[in-house]
Amino acid sequence: MSQMDLALQQENLPEQAYVSRSQWKLMSSRFKKNKRAMVGLWMVVLCVAVAALAPWIAPYDPIEQNMQIMLEGPSLHHPFGTDEFGRDILSRVMYGTQISLMTGIVGVLIAVVLGVALGTIAGYFGGLADSLIMRVMDIFMAFPSFLLALAIVSVLGPGMVNVMIAIGIFSVPTFARLSRSSVIGVRNKEYIEAVKAMGGNHLHIIIKHVIPNSIAPIIVLSTLRIATAIITAAGLSFLGMGAQPPTPEWGAMLSTGREYLRMAPHVSTMPGLAIMFLVLGFNMLGDGLRDALDPKMKL
């Protein structure tokens, strides 16, 4: 490659950066015009605000027991009622928001870090590394996600930390395959070839150019995967493998409330509605991000 070609490519790099910024502005504008996406965003923001402010806005201590008012229905003093130990369900749902959000976000973060790293290596270098990594991912994907998470927690032991690890592990193959396909579409672009010609090493190219230009679908998948992680964590806690009493976790609250469905249905209904609200918010937000970042929607 001649010096003139290198100079022309260097001059085009700022223009490419300008086009990239323009595309992000277009995506942001498209997202804001999507009413369903904005509703999902505000639902998630509301849950995050409740989780952050729970110690100050929760009306009662979530683990304080009062046997005199056990299984009391919704009232002015207890809007969501009380459970079998007389604990305020509204306070427990508020504190449970912290646990569900932390579990979903941390679990997906583990999956993103490991999955993107493996997928980028497989897609960028190809060859033996690609074959080896993808065959291991295929083995993991052969197992149903929830059963794999249940098996991992059974080996590690009950607890929310182990639930986060299990969620991260069973989500890695999905992120790895998506990252690999995105990287394959980026690695042979002209600006990548220009950086290589200017002497950029593989690590610099991957961190500065490949990952930033292939991260859009990962962002969408992460948002949708948080919803899946929240449901999985609630399911594991429902089976007694996640949060342990008296932790105010939504899945555990559903599990204890099923024994009182006839006499006090609110014990299970309220945490169930909280799970539905948060998961619906993340799904609507993820769908909006997907529509905004879809290259086919640019026109």
Task: State residue 18's pLDDT score.
Answer: 43
Domains of the chain: 89-297 (1.10.3720.10)
Q: How far apart are CA 106 and CA 225, in angstroms?
A: 11
CA 297 to chain CA mean position, Å: 24
Token digits of residue 291: 């529509």
Task: State residue 15's pLDDT score.
Answer: 43
Q: How far apart are CA 90 and CA 163, in angstroms?
A: 24
Determine which helix (DSSP H) or strand (DSSP E) holds 154, and give its type and residue range.
helix 145-156
Helices 89-125/127-141 angle, 10° precision: 150
Mean pLDDT, consecutive 10-residue stretches, the chain (299 aa), reads: 44 45 72 89 96 95 92 93 94 95 95 94 90 93 90 92 94 94 85 78 84 87 93 93 90 91 92 96 91 61
Task: State residue 296's pLDDT score.
Answer: 56
Task: State residue 20's pLDDT score.
Answer: 52
Report which of 39, 101, 48, 50 is spatially closest to residue 280, judged by C-alpha positions.
39
3-state DSSP assignment of residue 48: helix
Q: How far apart are CA 140 and CA 105, in angstroms?
A: 21
CA distances 232 to 72, 101, 149, 229, Å, are 29, 12, 8, 5
Alpha helices for 34-143 (secondary structure H): 35-57, 89-125, 127-141
Report which of 164, 182, 193, 163 is spatially closest to residue 116, judged by C-alpha positions.
182
Rounded to a whole number, what is the largest CA-CA distance in the chain? 86
Report which of 223, 234, 239, 219 is spatially closest to residue 99, judged by C-alpha positions.
234
Task: State residue 98's pLDDT score.
Answer: 95
Q: How far apart are CA 282 and CA 108, in angstroms?
A: 13
